[in-house]
Structure 1
Amino acid sequence: MACNDTHVALNESTPPIGSHYTAVPVPLRIVLVIIMVFMIAIGFFGNAIVCLIVYQKTAMRSAINLLLATLAFSDIMLSLFCMPFTAITVITVNWNFGAHFCRISAMLYWLFVLEGVSILLVISVDRFLIIVQRQDKLNPHRAKVIIVISWVLSFCISFPSVIGWTFVEVPARAPQCVLGYTELPAARAVAVTLVVAVFFIPFSVMLYSYFCILNTVRRNALRIHNHAESLCLSQVSKLGLIGLQKPQQVNVDMSFKTRAFTTILILFIGFSLCWLPHTVFSLLSVFSRQFYYSPSFYSTSTYILWLSYLKSVFNPVVYCWRIKKFREACMEFMPKTFKILPKVPGRTKRRIQPSTIYVCSETQSAV
């Protein structure tokens, strides 16, 4: 369907309709490329550490950590197989990799993005079941099954761009193969399905889950605050807190309860900020001929794609900021010559059981 008479632009030597476009100024292109090089390095090494932690440390192979490792792996693939070609095209303003690889790169881009979004969706539902429904349904075996299913579904949704069911154009109008304007109903339907699967469905489910979680945590915090002196162990159980041995160990501070959830919430906010502009951009590209052939389309697509790639760098930064065990593992993998920060004494390492999600104690829980 992509190879119809009105879209011969799949040959990169054929100028598209309205080929006059405003490119990004050279100094700004250089700055963007330099930043993208750092993004590739951080996206690769930061996410690789996440995968190594889960692979090497048996105690870290919990269901949630397996999902986070899969999310990190999808970001690694995005950093290796998509970002370098975009960076080269940004600096040269010319796609030098052929029409066939254009379709393949578009498929890989959507595949890895879809997989990352699917994992975030599963994590949000898991947090909802644990905190709101008080049901711990996810174990490592089920997590592995879900990971396989998510990869298969992501591949099935992204594969149509390779066989021509959606129109993707060689980047004479963008630094990467993007969804292009088409009037074919079937091609538009596939493009809408892709965009809905990447953003609207995950965003809606995650937003509802986190709203319910925040409401539940707020109610539980109020109950503990109002009945802190009279809480018994049975009452604490009803609030979904585990790990207490004596009623007097109740801590009114709910940070131990919400820290893991807050980390996932930050990832969700980062996903929303990075992908909402790309979603609007993709829909306008498919349905608005005026927008797609406007002179500013190239510069707009450059900024939008750069922002979407920022998500793969955002995740490991959040891990390092929020997860103590990740920071410790980073220090372990880092060469001794770069270990300039002194180790803080006085805190002993505690082995976390893979099934532990929240522990009501003085120490914070790990993701």
Structure 2
Amino acid sequence: MGEYEYLWTCVFFIYAAPPAVSVTLRVTLAAIMIFMITIGFLGNAIVCLIVYQKPAMRSAINLLLATLAFSDIMLSLLCMPFTAVTVATADWSFGSGFCRASIMLYWLFVLEGVSILLIISVDRFLIIVQRQDKLTPHRAKLLIAGSWVLSLCVSLPSVVGWRTGAAGIGGAWAPQCVLGYSDSLADRGYTVLLAVAVFFVPFAIMLYSYMCILNTRPPQIKVDMSFKTRAFTTILILFVGFSVCWLPHTVVSLLAVFSRKFYYSPLFYPISIGALWLSYLKTVFNPVIYCWRIRKFREACQEFIPKSCRLCPRVPGRSRRRVRPSNVYVCSETQSAV
């Protein structure tokens, strides 16, 4: 072992000690994460059930929303519980093999969710700005299949050829398995690819789409403005949530791979766990926004919740929806989102 490698080995054993976080705080954070898992799973499961059980709801946009919900469900079930256990015990107890697999699954479901949100945003741009309704249910299914294949191809290289880090595994102290520091140009290039695919390119395209929508003059589109504003505002809120939840995690992921000093520093654990929580918060954020903004989602929740568990009874006079013919896009998008 050379002098340089020996020096960094010593630094690693100094910095890789368990983080100075009390047991009470760790257990509290894990409990909150379990609550996030429950809310995210139940909320997104309702979205999927609505689309699955009601053929009338299987429009193109609803198929996309159901796929987005499904990716969040899988993230909640296959990634978040192991992170919660690791945070509570300060130790990764699931083996190095699953450590690599968990990284791939994490990026797979994240990439799929971002891809679907990007497709929805471009669809809104075409409808509102270009006055083109080109997204049919058949085309939506093709885009969904293509997005899964692309997400798998991009996330699969993270399984092999990488130094992984997690609590109790070689690398820095992290709340879950992460892509660790590497001197390899190939590893660094792959990290940049992930950052570009997950955040920078989708953010740029969605930002451009929403700016064009906001700059579209009302006379250019024959649509009920109150309906257009409410539908667009819902998608815009999802975009803002995506940006807030993913910018910190993207920056931390790049710093972890490119900066040895940051990756092995005592600050890596608290910073990474904060960024990771924000990224997981998106699985809870989406169904909450649906419940707040979309009446059909609230009514569907009423159907799935047992009557004995409802806090407020349904008002008889408002139990059925009123459809106003003016509340449709002129470009034939007659089916609203969930």
TM-score by structure 1 length?
0.82
CA offset at residue 20 of structure 1? Answer: 3.3
Note the 1:8-27 alignment, pairs <5 A.
18-20=15-17, 22-27=19-24
Aligned mates of 2:278, 2:179 — CA distance in 1: 17
DSSP 3-state at the match of 1:346: helix
Contact map agreement 1:256 1:358 (CA 8 A) in 2:
no
Aligned equivalent of 1:138, options 112, 135, 139: 135
Contact map agreement 1:102 1:177 (CA 8 A) in 2:
yes
Contact map agreement 2:129 2:213 (CA 8 A) in 1:
yes
Note the 1:342-361 alignment, pairs <5 A.
342-347=313-318, 348-350=320-322, 358=329
Aligned mates of 1:16, 1:157 — CA distance in 2: 33
Contact map agreement 1:22 1:297 (CA 8 A) in 2:
no
Match of 2:8 in 1: none
1:319 equivalent to 2:290? Answer yes
RMSD (CA atoms): 2.2
Aligned length: 319
Aligned mates of 1:89, 1:352 — CA distance in 2: 51
Contact map agreement 2:18 2:90 (CA 8 A) in 1:
no
Note the 1:240-279 alignment, pairs <5 A.
240-241=221-222, 254-279=225-250
Aligned equivalent of 1:43, options 34, 40, 43: 40
Match of 2:112 in 1: 115
Higher Cα Rg, which structure: 1
Match of 1:297 in 2: 268
Match of 2:205 in 1: 205
Aligned mates of 2:24, 2:309 — CA distance in 1: 32
Contact map agreement 2:181 2:258 (CA 8 A) in 1:
yes
Aligned mates of 2:337, 2:317 — CA distance in 1: 18
**What amino acid does structure 2 have at the position aligned with 1:160?**
P
Match of 1:56 in 2: 53
1:189 equivalent to 2:189? Answer yes
Match of 2:62 in 1: 65
Which 4+ residue blocks in structure 1 deviate beyond 3 angstroms? 15-18, 345-348, 350-353, 356-360, 364-367
**What amino acid does structure 2 have at the position aligned with 1:102?**
C
- State the Cα deviation string for residues 24-76 of structure 1 (Å, max 9, x = none): 33232222111111111011111000000000111111100000000000000
Aligned mates of 1:190, 1:304 — CA distance in 2: 20
Higher helix share: 2
Aligned mates of 2:226, 2:148 — CA distance in 1: 34
Aligned mates of 2:106, 2:312 — CA distance in 1: 37
Taking every aligned residue pair, what percent have the same amino acid on both sides? Answer: 70
- State the Cα deviation string for residues 245-292 of structure 1 (Å, max 9, x = none): xxxxxx6xx221121111111111111111100000001001111100
**What amino acid does structure 1 have at the position aligned with 2:126?**
L
Aligned equivalent of 2:167, options 165, 168, 171: 171
Aligned mates of 1:357, 1:154 — CA distance in 2: 33
Contact map agreement 2:100 2:159 (CA 8 A) in 1:
yes
